[in-house]
C-alpha cells in the first residue's frame, strides 16, 4: 500500500504582510527624528519611571532624553525644545515620527510642534 506524500503545509498560515515603503527618508542628520516613551523599572516593585527618548533617523544618534515619573505632554514639549536647541536647528524644517500614544496627540503638544515648524507623522 502506497502512502501519499504530502507536499503542502498542513497548517493555515497568513499570507506575508505587504511592506509599506517609508514615507520620509533622511539624507542627512536632523531631517527626521523619531521619539517614544519607555517604562523603566524603579527600585520599588510597581514603581516605574518614564524615559522620553528622541533619536535622529539618519545618524541614529540620541538627540534628547529625559526621565520623569509620569507621561505628560508638557514634559514632551520641554524635551523637544531642548533637543532643537542642542542640535542648533530651531526654526529649520524637521519631521518628528511617533506612535499614537496619548502624550504625542495632546492638542497643546501638537500646537507647540506647529509653532516650532515641526511636521509630525504618526
Q: What is the CATH topology of the domain spanning 32-121?
A: Nucleotidyltransferase; domain 5 (3.30.420)
pTM of the model: 0.74
Task: For the chain, give every domain's residue range.
Answer: 32-121
**38: which strand partners?**
51
- C-alpha to C-alpha distance for 42 and 52, rounded to whole angstroms: 15
pLDDT tens digit sequence for 9-48: 566 777 777 887 777 888 999 999 999 999 999 999 999 9
Residue 45 vs residues 42, 49, 71: alpha-carbon distances, Å = 7, 12, 19
* Farthest CA pair distance, the chain: 79
Give CA angle at 51 (50, 55), nearest 5°.
150
- C-alpha to C-alpha distance for 26 and 119, rounded to whole angstroms: 14
pLDDT tens digit sequence for 84-116: 999 999 888 899 888 767 666 777 778 888 888
pLDDT at 16: 77
- Residue 3's pLDDT band, with cuts at 50, 70 and 90, is low
Amino acid at each position: 500500500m502506497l502512502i501519499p506524500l504530502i507536499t503542502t503545509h498542513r497548517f493555515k498560515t497568513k499570507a506575508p504582510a505587504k511592506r509599506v515603503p517609508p514615507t520620509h527618508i533622511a539624507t542627512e542628520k536632523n531631517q527626521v527624528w523619531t521619539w517614544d516613551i519607555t517604562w523603566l523599572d524603579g527600585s520599588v516593585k510597581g514603581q516605574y519611571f518614564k524615559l522620553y527618548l528622541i533619536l535622529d533617523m539618519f545618524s541614529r544618534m540620541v538627540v534628547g532624553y529625559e526621565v520623569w515619573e509620569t507621561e505628560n505632554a508638557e514634559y514632551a514639549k520641554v524635551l523637544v525644545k531642548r533637543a532643537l536647541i542642542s542640535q542648533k536647528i530651531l526654526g529649520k524644517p524637521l519631521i518628528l515620527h511617533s506612535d499614537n500614544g496619548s502624550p504625542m496627540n495632546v492638542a497643546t503638544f501638537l500646537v507647540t510642534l506647529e509653532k516650532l515648524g515641526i511636521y509630525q507623522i504618526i
